[in-house]
Amino acid sequence: MDLLDTLTAKGLRGEVPTREEALAVLATTDDELLDVVAAAGKVRRRWFGRRVKLNYLVNLKSGLCPEDCSYCSQRLGSKAEILKYTWLKPEQAADAARAGVAGGAKRVCLVASGRGPTDRDIDRVTDTMAAIKDADPAVEICVCLGLLSDNQAERLKAAGADAYNHNLNTSENTYGSITKTHTYADRVDTVQKAHGAGLSACSGLIAGMGESDEDLVDVVFALRELGSDSVPVNFLIPFEGTPLAKEWNLTPQRCLRILAMVRFVNPDTEVRIAGGREVHLRSMQPLGLHIANSIFLGDYLTSEGQAGQTDLDMIKDAGFEVEGAGEATLPRHRADIAEAVAASGCGTTASSCGTAASSSGTAASACGSGGGCGPCGGHAHTPAEATTAEGTEAAVPQDDELRSDLVKVRRRGAGTELAPNA
Ligand code: SF4
């Protein structure tokens, strides 16, 4: 059986491929691309039908971060001319959230820059969540505040948070080259704290930082092990004024191969196309919907996306539908695990706390995972180091493919007087 037949069969059973198979997806050629998308699409439709979950970002506190994540426009020393403001008032954040929900978003993602929240910050977010849920109790709220201290996840859960985001971003081996002020282990710990408190874990990666195929596969398998319910796939937005401003390592084809690999390793998990969708997939975005079952509506934390209505038109034109508030995102067996975790307070890695049986009795991991700051961009080694699994040089964009013209700093929505894009 050839690679794609094997991956499809495994994905339909909810089975995880081998590491070698995941690497082989990244090594496929452009001639094979539509076959790769079709194979991943079968797996996507098996578990998620033609639904697209919409998520809406509200940046509660922008810029001024003491951490040094190389990919981030909000980092210490960033010269990126982004919006900078401190905590939005609860009613300001609720107004922005309402715009996203009115535009079709099922989940609101409340994000604040910084190493991690103080207990006073947890109070602020508690008030903000109350303001949002007062207006619409059905809205899902995911919180992203950085590294959590003991009991903060429990406080967020008690205050009504549904999920916590903290991305692993890249492999353990390369984490130290993108950030010096905290470690990969810190990030894993926060994911586990969130999961242990019964919050759904949202944790993903950033591609395009000069990482190798092995790095990408490492982080995606690590996310599977942690039991992330939602895996945001960010494509580095190389902001001028950050250390990674010149890192243009992605093509639309490469992005689709990465998404397909993430889907095969996480057949029954929410896979979200996150920051960098418009910048790197460009006119190929609709093909991404055949692989991922979730996107952000409208703008990102510090950059502008395409118009919210354009997102909605794209979904409809591609033959998909926006997931409704009353519809479950995860397949039943995964939702059962999430509920069991919430009830038990189990927050360890997947291997230690049970498996999820698919309809054919195969296993998917359950516990753990985390978040961190969301779709602000990303990087690691030099582009010249990027290699495929076969050791051949990956396609690197030519000068005319450097699309810094597509990077638009956010100037509307939260923290401004202008209406949000939703
Ligand atoms: S990713 Fe988060 S912690 Fe890192 S610099 Fe950006 S805002 Fe700060």
Cα dihedral 373, 377, 382, 387 sign: positive
The model's pTM is 0.88
Q: Find where tokens 């094979």 sit.
A: 32
Q: Which residues line ligand 1 (CB under 6 A)?
A: 65, 67, 69, 72, 74-75, 113, 115, 146, 373, 376
Is residue 144 part of the annotated active site? The answer reads: no
Residues 12-38 as b/e (b if ≥16 CB within 10 A, e otherwise) read bbbbbbeeebbbbbbbbeeeebeebbe
Task: Give the distance (Å) from ligand 1 centre to CA of residue 374.
Answer: 8
Burial of residue 85, with CB atoms counted within 10 A of its CB: 0-12 exposed, 13-18 middle, 19 or more buried: middle
- Residue 270, classed as helix, strand or coil, is strand
Q: What is the pLDDT along the chain (422 residues), one digit of tens a residue?
A: 599 999 999 999 999 999 999 999 999 999 999 999 999 999 999 999 999 999 999 999 999 999 999 999 999 999 999 999 999 999 999 999 999 999 999 999 999 999 999 999 999 999 999 999 999 999 999 999 999 999 999 999 999 999 999 999 999 999 999 999 999 999 999 999 999 999 999 999 999 999 999 999 999 999 999 999 999 999 999 999 999 999 999 999 999 999 999 999 999 999 999 999 999 999 999 999 999 999 999 999 999 999 999 999 999 999 999 999 989 999 989 877 766 665 655 443 333 333 333 333 333 222 222 233 444 433 333 333 334 333 444 455 565 568 889 999 999 999 999 999 99
pLDDT at 370: 28
Instruction: Tell which atom from ligand 1 comes closest to the C-alpha of 65.
Output: 8
Q: Measure 272 CA to ligand 1 centroid, in angstroms.
A: 20
Q: Tell me how far the alpha carbon of residue 115 is from its chain's centroid.
A: 19
pLDDT tens-digit map of 6-35: 999 999 999 999 999 999 999 999 999 999
Q: Tell me the residue type at 371.
A: G
CA of 102 to the centre of ligand 1 (A): 29
What residue owns the CA closest to ligand 1's atom 7? 113
Count CB neighbours of 64 within 10 A.
14
- From 57, 60, 61, 67, the mutation candidate for ligand 1 (largest count of ligand atoms within 8 A of CB) is 67
Atom of ligand 1 nearest to the CA of 372: 2
Residue partners of 293: CB distance under 8 A and separation at least 6: 44, 47, 48, 51, 52, 53, 270, 271, 272, 329
- The DSSP result for 172-187, as a single string, is HHHHHHH-SSS-HHHH
Of the candidates 272, 277, 334, 410, the residue annotated as catalytic is: 272
Q: Out of 44, 72, 373, 410, pick the active-site residue.
A: 72
Neighbouring C-beta atoms of residue 393, cutoff 10 Å? 11
Reference 148, options 166, 162, 161, 163; nearest CA is 166
